[in-house]
Chains A and B, each alone.
Chain A
Amino acid sequence: MSELLNVKIDGKSYQFHKGDTILKACKQIGLDIPTLCYLEGISEEGSCSLCVVEIKGIKTLQRACITEVAEGMEITTNSEAIHEARKTNLELLLAHHPLDCMTCDKDSDCVLQDLAYQFGIKKSQFLDEKDTFSCPIETAWDTNLFIQFDPQKCILCRCCVGACENQAVVEAIGIAMRGYKSVVSTPFNLALEQTNCQFCGACVQACPTGALIEKPRIGKGKIFKFKKTETVCAYCGVGCNLALYKDKNDKLVMARGVTNKEPNRGRLCVKGRYGYEYVNSFERLTKPLIKEDGIFREASWEEALDYTANRLLEIKEKYGPDSIGVLGSARCTNEDNYIIQKFARAVVGTNNVDHCARLCHSSTVTGLGKAFGAGAATNPISDIENADVMFIIGSNTTETHPVIAQFIKENKKKRGAKLIVCDPRNTDIAKYADIFIQHYPGTDVALLNAMMKIIVDQELTDKEFIANHTEGFENLLKALENFNLDDASKITGVDKKLIEEAAIVYAKAPNSMIFYTMGITQHHVGVDNVLSIANLALITGHIGKEGNGIDPLRGQSNVQGACDVGVLPDVYTGYQMVTDEFARKKFEDFWKVDLPKNTGYAVSQFGDLTLEGKLKAVYTMGENPMVTEADVRHVKESLGKLEFLAVQDIFLSETAEIADVVFPAKAAYEKSGTFTNTERRVQLLRPARNPSPSVKDDWKIVCEVATRMGYSMHYKDEEMIWNEIREITPSLKGITYERLEENSLQWPCPDEAHPGTKILHYNGSFKRPNGKALISGVEFHPPIEIPDDKYPFILTTGRMLFHYHSRNETRRVKVLENFVPENFVEVNPEDAEDLNLKNKDMVKIRTRRGEIVVRVKISTKPKKGVIFVSFHFSETNANILTINALDPEAKIPEYKACACAIEKF
Chain B
Amino acid sequence: MKTYRIHALVCAGTQCLAAGGNGFKDALVEELKQHGLTEEVLIVETGCMGSCQLGPRMVVYPEGIMYTRLSPEDAKEIVEEDFLKGRPVTRLLWKQDEKQFLTLHETPFFAKQTRIVLRNCGFINPEDITECIAQGGYESLARCITEMTPKDVIKIIKDSGLRGRGGAGFPTGLKWELANKQISDTKYIICNADEGDPGAYMNRSVLEGDPHSVLEGMAIAGYAVGAQKGFIYIRAEYPLAIKRLEIAIKQARMSGLLGKGILGTNFSFDVELRMGAGAFVCGEETALINSTEGKRGEPRKKPPYPVESGLFGKPTVINNVETLANVSVIIEKGADFFRQFGTDKSPGTKAFSLVGKVNIAGLIEVPLGTPLRTIVFDIGGGIPEGHTFKAAQTGGPSGGVIPAKHLDIPMDYENLPQLGAIMGSGGLIVMDETSCMVDVAKFFLKFTVDESCGKCVPCREGTRQMLNILEKITSGLGTMEDLDLLEKLGNVIKQTSLCGLGQTAPNPVLSTLRHFRDEYIAHVKDKVCPANVCSMKAKK
Indicate whether A and B are direct neighbours in the complex (CB within 8 Å).
Answer: yes
Given contacts A89-B462, A180-B454, 19 further A-B contacts (CB under 8 A): A46-B456, A47-B455, A48-B456, A49-B496, A49-B497, A60-B494, A85-B495, A85-B496, A88-B488, A88-B492, A92-B461, A125-B485, A126-B461, A156-B454, A177-B454, A179-B453, A179-B460, A180-B460, A182-B460
Of B453, B456, B461, chain A has the most CB atoms within 10 Å of the CB of B461
What residues on B are CB-neighbors of A60 within 8 Å? 494-497, 503
**Distance between Cα atoms of A467 and B278 in the complex (Å):** 63
The residue of chain B having its C-beta at the shortest distance from the C-beta of A36 within the complex is: B457
- The 8 sampled A-B contact pairs (Cβ below 8 Å) are A47-B455, A49-B458, A88-B489, A92-B457, A128-B468, A178-B454, A180-B460, A181-B454
A488 at the B interface (CB under 8 A) = no
What residues on B are CB-neighbors of A126 within 8 Å? 461, 465, 468
What residues on B are CB-neighbors of A869 within 8 Å? none
Which residues from 459 to 473 on chain B have a C-beta closer than 8 Å to any C-beta of chain A?
Answer: 460-462, 464-465, 468
Contact, CB under 8 Å: B460 / A95 = no
The residue of chain B having its C-beta at the shortest distance from the C-beta of A89 within the complex is: B457
Contact, CB under 8 Å: B452 / A84 = no
B273 at the A interface (CB under 8 A) = no
Contact, CB under 8 Å: A61 / B496 = yes
**Distance between Cα atoms of A38 and B211 in the complex (Å):** 44
B509 at the A interface (CB under 8 A) = no
Q: Which of B296, B449, B453, B496 contacts A89 (CB 8 A)?
A: B496
Contact, CB under 8 Å: B296 / A52 = no
Q: Which 3 A-B pairs have the closest CB atoms?
A: A182-B454, A92-B461, A88-B492
* Binary flags per residue of A84-119, CB closer than 8 Å to B gives 1, else 0: 110011001101100000000000000000000000
Q: Which of A45, A85, A92 contacts B465 (CB 8 A)?
A: A92
**Distance between Cα atoms of A60 and B280 in the complex (Å):** 22
B301 at the A interface (CB under 8 A) = yes
* Binary flags per residue of A138-163, CB closer than 8 Å to B gives 1, else 0: 00000000000000000110100000
Which residues from 420 to 479 on chain B have a C-beta closer than 8 Å to any C-beta of chain A?
Answer: 449-458, 460-462, 464-465, 468
A811 at the B interface (CB under 8 A) = no
* Binary flags per residue of A610-634, CB closer than 8 Å to B gives 1, else 0: 0000000000000000000000000
* Binary flags per residue of A60-85, CB closer than 8 Å to B gives 1, else 0: 11010011100000000000010011
Contact surface of B with A, Cβ cutoff 8 Å? 279, 296, 301, 303, 449-458, 460-462, 464-465, 468, 485, 488-489, 492, 494-498, 503
Instruction: Tally inter-chain residue pairs, CB-CB below 8 A.
Output: 93
What residues on A are CB-neighbors of B494 within 8 Å? 60
A175 at the B interface (CB under 8 A) = yes
Of B453, B454, B462, B498, chain A has the most CB atoms within 10 Å of the CB of B454
Contact, CB under 8 Å: B498 / A49 = yes
What residues on A are CB-neighbors of B456 within 8 Å? 46-49
**Distance between Cα atoms of A126 and B467 in the complex (Å):** 12
Which residues from 776 to 815 on chain A have a C-beta closer than 8 Å to any C-beta of chain B?
Answer: none
**Distance between Cα atoms of A158 and B301 in the complex (Å):** 15
**Distance between Cα atoms of A178 and B296 in the complex (Å):** 9
**Distance between Cα atoms of A181 and B449 in the complex (Å):** 10
Contact, CB under 8 Å: A61 / B301 = no
Given A60-B496, A61-B495: A93 and B453 within 8 A (CB)?
Answer: no
The residue of chain A having its C-beta at the shortest distance from the C-beta of B469 within the complex is: A126
What residues on B are CB-neighbors of A128 within 8 Å? 468
Contact, CB under 8 Å: B457 / A47 = yes
Q: Which of B303, B449, B458, B498 contacts A180 (CB 8 A)?
A: B449
What residues on A are CB-neighbors of B496 within 8 Å? 49, 52, 60-61, 85, 89
What residues on B are CB-neighbors of A50 within 8 Å? 457
The residue of chain B having its C-beta at the shortest distance from the C-beta of A66 within the complex is: B301
Q: How far is the CB of A788 from chain B (nearest CB, A)?
A: 51
The residue of chain B having its C-beta at the shortest distance from the C-beta of A157 within the complex is: B457
What residues on B are CB-neighbors of A47 within 8 Å? 455-457, 498
Given A48-B457, A63-B301, A89-B458: A179 and B497 within 8 A (CB)?
Answer: no
Contact, CB under 8 Å: A179 / B495 = no
**Distance between Cα atoms of A155 and B461 in the complex (Å):** 10
What residues on A are CB-neighbors of B301 within 8 Å? 45-46, 63, 66
The residue of chain A having its C-beta at the shortest distance from the C-beta of B304 within the complex is: A68
**Distance between Cα atoms of A158 and B453 in the complex (Å):** 13
The residue of chain B having its C-beta at the shortest distance from the C-beta of A51 within the complex is: B496
What residues on B are CB-neighbors of A49 within 8 Å? 456-458, 496-498
**Distance between Cα atoms of A45 and B460 in the complex (Å):** 15
What residues on B are CB-neighbors of A155 within 8 Å? 457
What residues on A are CB-neighbors of B462 within 8 Å? 88-89, 92
What residues on B are CB-neighbors of A67 within 8 Å? 303
**Distance between Cα atoms of A50 and B457 in the complex (Å):** 9
What residues on B are CB-neighbors of A179 within 8 Å? 449-454, 460
The residue of chain A having its C-beta at the shortest distance from the C-beta of B281 within the complex is: A178
Which residues from 24 to 54 on chain A have a C-beta closer than 8 Å to any C-beta of chain B?
Answer: 45-50, 52
**Distance between Cα atoms of A125 and B450 in the complex (Å):** 23
What residues on B are CB-neighbors of A156 within 8 Å? 454, 460
Given A66-B301, A84-B492, A177-B454: A93 and B279 within 8 A (CB)?
Answer: no
Q: How far is the CB of A641 from chain B (nearest CB, A)?
A: 66
Contact, CB under 8 Å: B492 / A89 = yes
* Binary flags per residue of A159-184, CB closer than 8 Å to B gives 1, else 0: 00000000000000001011111100
Given A49-B457, A60-B503: A81 and B495 within 8 A (CB)?
Answer: yes
What residues on B are CB-neighbors of A85 within 8 Å? 492, 495-496
What residues on B are CB-neighbors of A180 within 8 Å? 449, 452, 454, 460-461, 464
Q: How far is the CB of A98 from chain B (nearest CB, A)?
A: 16
Q: How far is the CB of B30 from chain A (nearest CB, A)?
A: 47
The residue of chain B having its C-beta at the shortest distance from the C-beta of A81 within the complex is: B495
Q: How far is the CB of A721 from chain B (nearest CB, A)?
A: 52
Contact, CB under 8 Å: B296 / A175 = yes
Q: How far is the CB of A90 from chain B (nearest CB, A)?
A: 9
What residues on B are CB-neighbors of A96 within 8 Å? 461
Q: Which of A66, A175, A178 contacts B452 (CB 8 A)?
A: A178
Q: How far is the CB of B422 from chain A (nearest CB, A)?
A: 14
Q: How far is the CB of A415 from chain B (nearest CB, A)?
A: 13
Q: Which of A45, A63, A88 contacts B455 (CB 8 A)?
A: A45
**Distance between Cα atoms of A93 and B503 in the complex (Å):** 18
Q: How far is the CB of A635 from chain B (nearest CB, A)?
A: 55
Q: Which of B279, B458, B495, B498 contacts A92 (CB 8 A)?
A: B458
**Distance between Cα atoms of A175 and B296 in the complex (Å):** 9
Q: How far is the CB of A58 from chain B (nearest CB, A)?
A: 10
Of A68, A85, A158, chain B has the most CB atoms within 10 Å of the CB of A85
What residues on A are CB-neighbors of B452 within 8 Å? 178-180
Q: Which of B460, B464, B485, B498 contacts A46 (CB 8 A)?
A: B498
**Distance between Cα atoms of A81 and B492 in the complex (Å):** 9
Which residues from 480 to 533 on chain A have a C-beta closer than 8 Å to any C-beta of chain B?
Answer: none
**Distance between Cα atoms of A180 and B452 in the complex (Å):** 8
What residues on B are CB-neighbors of A84 within 8 Å? 488, 492
Q: How far is the CB of B136 from chain A (nearest CB, A)?
A: 42
The residue of chain B having its C-beta at the shortest distance from the C-beta of A59 within the complex is: B495
**Distance between Cα atoms of A178 and B454 in the complex (Å):** 6
Contact, CB under 8 Å: B453 / A178 = yes
Q: How far is the CB of B442 from chain A (nearest CB, A)?
A: 16
What residues on A are CB-neighbors of B485 within 8 Å? 125
The residue of chain B having its C-beta at the shortest distance from the C-beta of A84 within the complex is: B492
